[in-house]
Amino acid sequence: MINDIRNTVLAVLNKNNYGYISPQDFNLYAQQAQMDLFEDYFYAYNYQVNKENQRTSGTDYADIKKGYAEVIDFFSVTSNLTQNGGATNSFFLPSLATTGSDFYLINKIFTGGIELERVNQSKILLLNSSPLTAPSTMFPAYTTQGNIATIYPVSSAAPTITCQYIRYPKPPKWTYVDLGNNSEPVFDQTQPDYQDFELFPDDATDLTMKILQYAGVSIREASVVQYAGAAEATETNSEK
Amino acid sequence: MSYISQYDYYENGGNAPEDANWGSYQYVSLKDIVVNYQLMYSGNHSLVNNEERYKILFHAKRAIQELNYDAFKEIKVLQLNVSEDLRFILPSDYVNWVRISYFQNGVIRPMVENIQVNSAKAYLQANDNRILFDQDGKALQPEYSPLDFSRITAQQPSIYLNSLSPYNGLMGYEYEGCWYFDFAVGARFGLNTETANANPTFRIDKKSGVINFDSTMANESCILEYVSDGMEGGDDTQVTVNKLFEDYVYAYISYQILNSKLGVQEYVVNRARKAKSALLRNAKIRLSNIHPGRLLMNLRGRDKWIK
């Protein structure tokens, strides 16, 4: 998908000899565009939930929320957390170093099939001192601070803590072979650091428009920015 | 709780204790209540959403506590010997008492609560009746107040018609052909029915956490029937609710959350309140076990002459 999008972007930019963007710039814009759209998934999901509550959403093929949930679930990872030193209730949150990917959103942390409830730092002391709601093995809780999750209640042995989270999409990278002699770089997806977009194909248009906006700003071509912005807004509205 | 096999039910799968699952089908666990509530009554398309689990847990436990106080009719019974200092320490899960009896010669005899105070705190006093203090400014206290001491040493007469009555064992007197005992000779022509009980008496000191008995209860066996709050000493795994009240607990949680939530319309809160009350009534009726067979037994005795 990444090569198609790059070709489209270059085709639009080259019209009337507006300009050209290098592979390095394209990769930067591509990553930015992918993150923009990725974050939009969550807002769009919430928007669809609200529409359902207003009874202005359908079921079956009209169930838009389900589609967003599927896309978000694509980025779902379930992994055991790494204990932090000797403390039996301290664990590292998901990261490249511990679980292989950074988390965008922690959906749940659980142990032995029991979900731990995330509690704000402002509440945890109150919670621990309340006889009725103090965290127990049946209703455990956790707080986060920095990249550390602290589990309650504290047990004598560290439990196995598992986390299900939504990871960030991997940064896209359009890899190429440089033929020299002022030739155009040629797309080469066999390079080890090649990475296609992780978003679904139906987002190709949005990705193209986003990248065009960044590229338009880069080459100081206002008409490109306006065109891409308007096209994206039109597409977004049509999906609501 | 998931369904279990007959073997698990009757013999706990060969594990100890064997009776762990007996009668368990009557109850639904606290964990099931919270999980079911989160699954069925809370979420994006429900009246209740974005609520922390600990709030649901809190209201579930509060509902169970309230039910334990009266609706459940689950009376706990504890039998202990009364100590020499005539005290019976209240159980760790005690909330209120139902009946206190003493067990003697194989017979359970219900006791009455003494209408007179039988225990007090006291301070040490000097000859001029000034209170004595320690170096920290706290009033010095004797081990027993004079009231307690006289009770423990069996020097305190009782207004009840038991062996501590000042007239107990006195010779009777004959008047117009009838013999009268246990009464002072004089102008006493009736019986104070409130104190006309020959059994030992007690009084509960709630703050001190003890039941104080009269001196006839020393080393006697006492049976305390009481209600708890169902929290099982803080062990969440043991907290259960009778299935007849399951829907009520869900309704109670919904009502409490909606009632304390900002921006919920009053009619929604009212609806939740009515649902809660109606379900409580239904459950109480169900639990009362009024059924034809039992009514028949009562009705059969209606024509019996009371002599």
pLDDT tens digits, residue range A186-224?
888 898 999 999 988 888 888 888 888 887 766 666 676
A133–chain B Cβ distance below 8 A for any pair:
yes
Q: Are residues A107 and A185 in the same domain?
A: no
In chain B, which residues have their Cβ closer than 8 Å to the Cβ of A117? 52-54
Contacts of B98 (CB under 8 A, 6+ apart): B75, B225, B226, B227
Structural domain contains residue A141: yes
The rounded mean pLDDT for chain B is 88
Q: Which residue of A has its CA nearest to B65?
A: A132
Instruction: For residue B48, list its beta bridge partners.
Output: B42
Q: Are residues A190 and A160 in the same domain?
A: no
A55–chain B Cβ distance below 8 A for any pair:
no
Contact A139 B61 (CB under 8 A): no
In chain B, which residues have their Cβ closer than 8 Å to the Cβ of A133? 54, 57-58, 61
B127–chain A Cβ distance below 8 A for any pair:
no
Contact A141 B62 (CB under 8 A): no
Q: At which of A167, A191, A223 does a domain end? A: A167
Q: Which residue of B has its CA nearest to A53?
A: B45
Tokens standing for residue B57:
């847990």
Each residue's pLDDT tens digit, B118-163: 899 999 999 999 999 999 999 999 999 999 999 999 888 888 878 8
Measure the CA–CA gap between B201 and B216, rounded to whole angstroms: 9
A131–chain B Cβ distance below 8 A for any pair:
yes
Q: Which of residues 147-176 of A touch B (CB under 8 A)?
A: none
Q: At which of A167, A185, A218 does a domain end? A: A167
> What ipTM is given for this predicted complex?
0.83
Q: Are residues A110 and A32 in the same domain?
A: no
Measure the CA–CA gap between B88 and B96, rounded to whole angstroms: 14
Neighbours of B70 (CB within 10 A): 10
Amino acid at B4: I
Structural domain contains residue A57: no
Q: Are residues A122 and A82 in the same domain?
A: yes
Q: Are residues A82 and A159 in the same domain?
A: yes
Q: Are residues A152 and A221 in the same domain?
A: no
The whole domain housing A95 covers 76-167
Q: At which of A134, A167, A200 does a domain end? A: A167
In chain A, % of residues over pLDDT 70: 91
Q: Are residues A191 and A156 in the same domain?
A: no
Structural domain contains residue A47: no
Contact B54 A139 (CB under 8 A): yes
In chain B, which residues have their Cβ closer than 8 Å to the Cβ of A132? 57-58, 61-62, 231
* pLDDT at position B59: 96
Structural domain contains residue A52: no
Q: Are residues A145 and A219 in the same domain?
A: no
Q: Are residues A81 and A155 in the same domain?
A: yes
Structural domain contains residue A176: yes
Residue B182: pLDDT above 80?
Answer: no
Each residue's pLDDT tens digit, B52-85: 999 999 999 999 999 998 888 889 999 999 998 8
Mean pLDDT computed over A35-39:
91
Q: Are residues A184 and A151 in the same domain?
A: no
Instruction: For residue B174, list its beta bridge partners.
Output: B179
* pLDDT at position A240: 66
Give A109: exposed, middle or buried? Use CB within 10 Å, 0-12, 13-18, 19+.
buried
Length of chain A: 240
Residue A181 gets the label, from left (phi > 0), alpha (psi -120 to 50) or beta, of left
Structural domain contains residue A218: yes
Structural domain contains residue A10: yes
Q: Are residues A133 and A187 in the same domain?
A: no
Report the DSSP pairing between strands A186-187 and A76-80.
Answer: unpaired
Residue A83: pLDDT above 70?
Answer: yes
Q: Which residue of A has its CA nearest to B60?
A: A132
Among the listed residues A9, A34, A5, A2, the one whose alpha carbon sits nearest the alpha carbon of residue A218:
A9
Q: Are residues A186 and A118 in the same domain?
A: no
Structural domain contains residue A232: yes
B234–chain A Cβ distance below 8 A for any pair:
yes
Note if the pTM is more than 0.90. no
Specify the number of domains making up chain A: 2
User: Do the beta carbons of residue B26 and residue B243 sit within 8 Å?
Assistant: yes
